[in-house]
């Protein structure tokens, strides 16, 4: 597999263009074309000779949309295919305030969480910064008629959540470079405050991320209030304790001034009774955080079961009465397998049959 230009920052592209003996302004033309989601050969402002030289070493287009699934609620789910044939998926959620895209950071995942389909085949490989960014670039290009903003900075995707396949902090260096490139002026220009990164709680990397000074929204998958219960569905709990995660979150708040978030997937018979609500209140009350309750998207290969809406709202009510800031995430894209990993898993299964 060749290298990809989308891995490079604008400064790095300038260095490349000058090394090829081209004028510096060619870097701007190349960067603008790439940020518009164009393949190298489709950037009309570049000469045929320059494009030919670039194509000798770089992929023409690192990712393509292989399949699109449309939900009745407007949500779109994509199956992305990379140059080496690997597949990941992403979701575009359409809100009144703009479009939010959920992106993947790895092909598969090695964290082994029992409620997630992404882990079923383990980790295949990490995605590069440019491969992550390209998920957004191709969706922006697909929805170019829906763009907001002015001039070349106009874009459809205004918010990004790193909650697709993979553990972002397990691919730290590439995710960090993606964050810097995605928020850079002249590119897709996503504000760091409009980016959410979801982690299962890799404590050392949480501290490292806090020290980067990028004011994004840090979200931790919690799903339980004690380490023993958490370990039943999240193997990572054997390495990093809840108390250590809370300390890392407090450090993140001190360094960035941003409150942090906890995802709490409601699983029948596991974590959604009154005793669990009381334990969650005791654990988090008074902290600068928000709890995002999630109805479980059942994975057929797993035995975990979802709860009904009535029980979910009852649990939410107990948290609110107890003084926690909490919401129940709206279910979207259910009719197209909106949960992470489901589309890729079903596609690969069909290919094996």
Q: Which residues are catalytic?
A: 89, 340
* Burial of 128 (C-beta count, 10 Å sphere; 0-12/13-18/19+): buried
DSSP 31-53: HHHHHTT--GGG-TTS-HHHHHH
Q: Which long-range contacts (CB under 8 A, 24 or more apart) does 144-150 make?
A: 146/99, 148/98, 149/189
How many other C-beta atoms can be found within 10 angstroms of the C-beta atom of residue 121?
Answer: 14
Give the full edge-to-edge strand order of the sheet including 76-82.
63-70, 76-82, 87-95, 98-102, 157-162, 195-199, 217-221, 260-266, 289-295, 326-328
- Which of 221, 246, 91, 230 is closest to 169 using CA atoms? 221
- E strand or H helix that includes residue 25: helix 25-35
């Amino acid at each position: 597999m060749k290298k990809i230009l989308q891995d490079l920052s604008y400064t790095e592209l300038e260095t490349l263009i000058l090394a090829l003996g081209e004028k510096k302004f060619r870097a701007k033309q190349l960067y603008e074309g790439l940020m518009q989601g164009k393949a190298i050969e489709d950037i009309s402002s570049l000469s045929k000779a320059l494009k030919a030289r670039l194509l000798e070493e770089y992929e023409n287009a690192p990712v393509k949309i292989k399949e699109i699934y449309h939900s009745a609620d407007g949500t779109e789910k994509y199956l992305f295919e990379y140059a080496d044939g690997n597949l990941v998926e992403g979701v575009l959620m359409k809100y009144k305030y703009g479009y939010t895209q959920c992106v993947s950071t790895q092909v598969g995942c090695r964290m082994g969480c029992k409620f997630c389909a992404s882990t079923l085949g383990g980790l295949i490989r990490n995605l590069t910064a440019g491969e992550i960014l390209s998920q957004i670039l191709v969706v922006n290009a697909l929805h170019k008629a829906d763009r907001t903003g002015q001039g070349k900075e106009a874009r459809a995707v205004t918010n990004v959540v790193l909650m697709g396949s993979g553990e972002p902090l397990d691919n730290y260096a590439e995710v960090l470079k993606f964050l810097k490139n995605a928020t850079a002026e002249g590119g897709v220009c996503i504000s760091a405050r409009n980016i959410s990164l979801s982690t299962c709680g890799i404590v050392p990397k949480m501290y490292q991320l806090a020290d980067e000074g990028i004011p994004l929204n840090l979200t931790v998958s919690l799903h339980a209030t004690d380490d023993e219960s958490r370990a039943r569905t999240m193997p990572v709990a054997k390495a990093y304790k809840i108390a250590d995660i809370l300390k890392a979150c407090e450090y993140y708040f001190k360094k960035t001034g941003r409150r942090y978030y906890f995802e709490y997937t409601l699983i029948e018979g596991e974590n959604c009774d009154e005793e669990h609500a009381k334990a969650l209140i005791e654990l988090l009350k008074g902290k600068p955080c928000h709890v995002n309750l999630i109805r479980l998207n059942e994975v057929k290969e797993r035995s975990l079961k979802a709860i009904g809406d009535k029980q979910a709202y009852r649990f939410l009510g107990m948290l609110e009465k107890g003084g926690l800031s909490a919401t129940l995430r709206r279910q979207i894209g259910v009719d197209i397998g909106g949960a992470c990993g489901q589309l890729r898993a079903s596609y690969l299964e069909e290919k094996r049959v």
